[in-house]
Amino acid sequence: MMSTTFDALIIGAGQAGPSLAARFSAAGQRVAVVERKHVGGTCVNTGCMPTKTLVASAYAAHVARRADDYGVTLGGTIGVDMKKIWSRKQAVTMNARTGLESWLGGMAGCTLVRGHARFTAQHEIEVDGRRLSAPKIFLNVGGRAFVPDVPGLAEVDYLTNTSIVELDRLPRHLLIVGGSYIALEFAQMYRRFGSEVTVIERGPRLAPREDADISAAIADILMREGITIEFAATNLSVARDGNGVAVTITRGGAPAARISGSHLLMAVGRIPNTDDLGLDAAGVQTDPRGYVMVDDQLRTNVEGIWALGDCNGKGAFTHTSYNDYEIVAANIFDGDKRRVSDRISAYALYIDPPLGRIGMTEDEVRRSGRKALIGRRPMTRVGRAVEKGETLGFMKVIVDADTRAILGAVILGVGGDEVIHGMLDNMYAKAPSSIVQRAVHIHPTVSELVPTMLGEMQPLV
C-alpha cells in the first residue's frame, strides 16, 4: 500500500488543530488534518458552545420568572419550548462547525481527511485503508465521557454530556450522577427549564477541587433553586423503573435509598481518546490513565510527535488546548521557547452566578506552608451586584505576605468569569498586588471592589 507524504499530520480537528494547520499552510507546507467525526471537537459540538447556549436560554427563563422582583409585569406562566431551545443551540454549533470546515477547505496545501487514524509506524498512520506519513505528527484527539462500571447501567438508557445536548424534550425528573462542573451546569440548566433535578455525589461536597467554602456556596446556590443533592452516595446501582430509571444508593450505615427519575445523566469525569490510536506501533508513551506523556513543550517521547489538548492531561479546557497550539507553533515557527509551565491555572464554572478561578486555592496555599494574606468580600457588599439583584456568592484573593504576589483568587458571583481576568493579567505580569489595589476602576462595576478587597487583607491562618 502506497503512503501519501505530508510535511505534517494533525490527528483531530479540535481547538488546537485548525489553527496549527493554518500555520503550516502559511509556511507553504503540506498538512493533512484527520478527523473521524465533527470538525471543531468537543468545544464546538458537545462542550462550550452548545452548553453555554443552553445556559443562556435557561438564564432567560430564570430572569423572566423573577420579573416581579424588578417591578416588571408579565402575563401568564413562564414556560420553555425545548425544540426551539434545541434549534437555537444547533444553529450556534453548526455555524461554528461549518465556519471551521470552510476555513480548512480554503487553506493552501491543507487536506481534510475524514476517518479514524491509527498508527502503523512511528511516522505513518492508516485512515480507513489509506496510508499517510509525515515527519511531524500532532495528536489532538481530545477526550470523552468516562462511564464507570455501575451495576445495572448497561441495562438502561442513560445520557452523557454528548447525548444530553441532543435532547429536544424536557425530562420530568433528571437524575445526575456526579458533582463537578459538567454535572452542576446541567443540573441548574434543566432545573430552570422546569425539570425536577437530583444530583447524586459520592463525596461529602460538590466541586471537590475547590475550597470547602466555595463548595458550600455552590451547593447553597443550587439548593435555593430546588435542586436536590444527595451527598456521600455510595454503592450505586441502576435499574429500569417503568418508563424511567432508578438509582439505588447507600449513605454510610443508613438503609439503601432508591431514587426514581425519568432520565439519567452520567457526569463523573472524562478520559482521553488514546486507546484506539495504535500508539504502541509508534512507541508513544501514555500514563496509567491513558494520557499521552509530554514535556514542557508538548513533545512526546518519540521525536517528531507532539500531543495537544485534552489527550495530554495538561488541562482539559478549550483555552488550554488553544494555548497548547500557541506553545507548539511558537517553538516550531517563531523560535520562541514557550512552555506549558509558564501557564497559570485558570478556569470557570458556568452555573449562575458563575465561578472564575485562578492560581492556587486556599487549601493549596496552606499546604505550601508559605506566609500569606487573604481578602474576602461577599457579593452582598458589591454595589453592582445589589443593583442587578444578583448578590449570591463571594470573592476572595490570596497574596504572598512577603512579595505581595497574587497566589490565587476566586470570584463566585455575577460577572466572576470576566472580572477574574484583571488579577490573572497581574499574575502573568509578575506584578505585586499593589498594582491592582491602586488602580482606579470604573463605577459601578464588580471589578471596582477588587482593589477594595486587596486593601482589606488579613493574615491567612
Which residues belong to the active site? 443
Grid look-up 510527535 returns 305
3-state secondary structure of 374: strand
List, in order, residues 6 or more apart from 449 with CB less than 8 Å away: 377, 381, 382, 383, 395
Contact by Cβ (8 Å): 53, 92? yes
On the CB side of 199, how many CA atoms lie within 13 Å of its CA?
A: 32
Contact by Cβ (8 Å): 418, 356? yes
For residue 173, give Cα distances in angstroms to 199, 226, 304. 11, 12, 50
389: Cα separation from own chain's centroid: 27
Contact by Cβ (8 Å): 195, 174? yes
List, in order, residues 6 or more apart from 253 with CB less than 8 Å away: none
d(CA 311, CA 430): 30
Strands 196-200 and 173-177: parallel
| Sheet bearing 136-139, strands edge to edge | 110-114, 31-35, 8-11, 136-139, 305-307
Helix axis angle for 48-65 and 82-105, nearest 10°, is 150
